[in-house]
Structure 1
């Protein structure tokens, strides 16, 4: 029983998953910090509010004499936060990594000879046609070509 548990824990997939969770948590902290400390204050300055949670509030009277608040700013803030997080992830992390991969791939390919075009059905059929034509012309001088011509339906 302990042997099976040890094999399960030491599998590469479990270790990779654990590393991914830890890195993901650290990555989330970095992205949230960028959004909270850079972009949210800029947006708040544009709307003259500490945050969008306090902007665009619609107060509606309730039947009990109280006030219900509809916070459109909070919804807008959540949507903007999502878009900002997506933009930060893309432009700060994904785009540079993709560009680095492309650059490394180009450097690797620069040292390799260009690959030949793969054979297509058309090139294979053209080769077969040329071989058959060569056999016909070679076979026409030995008398067999006439026999083949006689068997061919018209």
Structure 2
């Protein structure tokens, strides 16, 4: 029973120490911090640009499905069915900005780096093959030369010679 508990604890420790879990934890922390940056860009830049054509708060854009929509003092809809398409637009813009920044600042540079590294690795392997083939060819030439020397009797003085 004690061995099983140790192996479970050791397995859990090994799981936590794998690079995948650490990378995932870092990604979550960076993603949470990055969300604040994107939200600030949307509220500080995108919303005022949209506000030049209407209200600065995208969440205020809405339509009434069942007219007329009436609200009480607290801002709650009491009559009609209100569709808040402005908040959907705001969330969509936030998503697109986040996706674009992640792609252009993280995914694309990493893909280029990995492609460059793969080309360098392929070049090293090709150079290694050339070296191995060249060494093999030299050894074959030496072997052929030795065989030729033996066959022509030029291997040196005969055994019985004084």
Q: TM-score, normalised by structure 1?
A: 0.57
Q: Deviations over 1:8-58 (max 9, x none)?
A: 2122x3434541342122121243133112244322022104442123x22
- Tell me by how many angstroms 1:98 deviates: 0.8
1:111–1:21 distance in 2 versus 1, CA, 3 Å: closer
Q: Is 2:54 the counterpart of 1:45?
A: no
Separation (CA, whole Å) in 2 of partners of 1:110 and 1:20: 30
Q: Which residue of 1 aligns with 2:95?
A: 82
- Tell me by how many angstroms 1:90 deviates: 0.7
Note the aligned Cα RMSD (angstroms). 3.1
Q: Deviations over 1:58-95 (max 9, x none)?
A: 24436995465321111111222222221111111100
In the alignment, which of 108, 111, 117 is matched to residue 104 of structure 1?
A: 117
Q: TM-score, normalised by structure 2?
A: 0.55
1:51–1:24 distance in 2 versus 1, CA, 3 Å: farther
Separation (CA, whole Å) in 2 of partners of 1:84 and 1:45: 16
Separation (CA, whole Å) in 1 of partners of 2:33 and 2:42: 13
- Tell me by how many angstroms 1:96 deviates: 0.7
